[in-house]
Structure 1
Amino acid sequence: MSSYNTSLWKMNRSHCPAYFDRISCWPPTETGIRRIIPCPVNIFPTANPNVYASLLCKNESRWEEKSHYELCIGCTTIDPLDGNKTDLFLIPSSFLITRKYFMTCANGLSVIFLIIGIFILLGNSRLRQYSRNILHVNIFLVFLIRSITQLIAEIFMDKGYFTHNVFQRTDICNRTTIYFKHHLVDCKLFVVFINYISSSVVHWFVFCEALYLYRLLRAKASKDQIRWYIITGWLAPLCLTIITYTTRFLLKKDLHSCWFEPSIYDWILHGPNVVLQIVIN
């Protein structure tokens, strides 16, 4: 009798006991083994006969909390018995958090130092006399605005959307779907402004500054010419931005989204900048 109790005790330590989960009966299973059984036809009459339900016997001789009937109801999941299949690549959450902190700190420092640089150039009467410093102030200003918008995006946006416009739902297959509220005017306007500033950075740094230095070598630039540089630097990207997103709106492309995703219409905005970089270089 004692030998029987000993063998029973060893079996209990190395097996999960028989278990009923209110749908199926699971036989005793060795620890570390995922038991599979056919889908019960009385519960899932339309289930594919080639699929199965599964339940893992954990190392502490206890069944996992939830039986897996996803395949029985038509969900597509990675086969747990197929060793040749690899997990999908997912970016670790720790990396995303570190990136968020790094981008926030970097843009915050940029805002501080750019403000200091602008005050130095504008606060000194001698420095204000030089035309090139007026261009530098505008370049600092466009970089400052871009850093501020990126800072706002890092803090208040998630997956290209403001957090109050995003909500998630999990279906019976344990698949999480992200939904967006239809009222996305604020998000659209912010993304349009981000792209306008990004285009302005390239236009100012590559075109206006380079053209001014080139003309400075050929002939002395006057303050009247500086005025046209400033007008061109701010107005040209604005015109391209208006054309780009007016076209996107009139053609009813991605009206349900926030326009954060890349589109073929972005070439209207960024194409001239690419051409300018090639020509000037």
Structure 2
Amino acid sequence: MPANRPFEFSLAAIDIDETLIGPDKKIGRANRDAVAALQARGCRVVLASGRRHANMLPYCDELGLDDYVVSSQGARVEHASTGRVLYRAHLDPATAAELADEGHSRGYAVMLWLEDRVVAREPSEWIGRYEKLCDDPVAIVDLATVAGLPIEKVIWAARPDTISEDLEPMRRRLEGRALTTITEPWSMEFSAVEADKRHGVAALAKHLGVPRERVLTFGDGNNDAGMLAWAGLGVAMPHGRPSARSAARIVAPEGDRESALARGVQAVFRRAEGVLVA
């Protein structure tokens, strides 16, 4: 990019799992350098993930990002150090209770995402799988003790074929009441209609005075599709879900998953320099 030509994006929102980090759950050198390269061009970088706020903070610390965090699929936007909350979108309490009861009655492992922890009524293989994937312990409690507390998500976990079979019926039933998203083949998430990453990133951009066309987003999952489509430029990882790749304007070049984000950032830079990027 010519030295006298300013970078066209002021804010970049980056997903964590399978975007910032690869299968080893570590931030590789190439991706770390890519974040620094965005910052060097005057672009503010934040993380936007389906993970809980507290679960995202170690990655913020590792990158030196003392800034707002878009967490729980967009249900919350909170500053990493000051705790200032810009945006919240909780599930309607009646809908959350209905989903928890129905999930249990149908044999799902059910997890409730409160603002400060994840809870379930009993351990299971699927809850253990979630804990391992996200490095996030689930508290086993009497759910009556958390009744009435704000809930960011209800998760049903089960065999992928069961999840797949129930996805569309649940989407149709909950239309206008909750978002239904598959994050892993064995995990179906229910969140507030306004709890999509695009809502969280849009709220942050508005607060910062950054117009939509100057927002850059990177992601790979079904829960990234909204922000990839909303942003001025959305960049999907080559290994991403079809929904993410179709929502994005750019798909990063194929290669090692550990450095997919870095290749996506380079694709953005080449585009800014006038090099055609598919």
TM range (shorter): under 0.3
Q: Which has the larger radius of gyration?
A: 1
Q: What is the TM-score with the length of structure 2 in the denominator?
A: 0.20
Give the structure with the higher percent helix: 1
Q: What is the TM-score with the length of structure 1 in the denominator?
A: 0.19
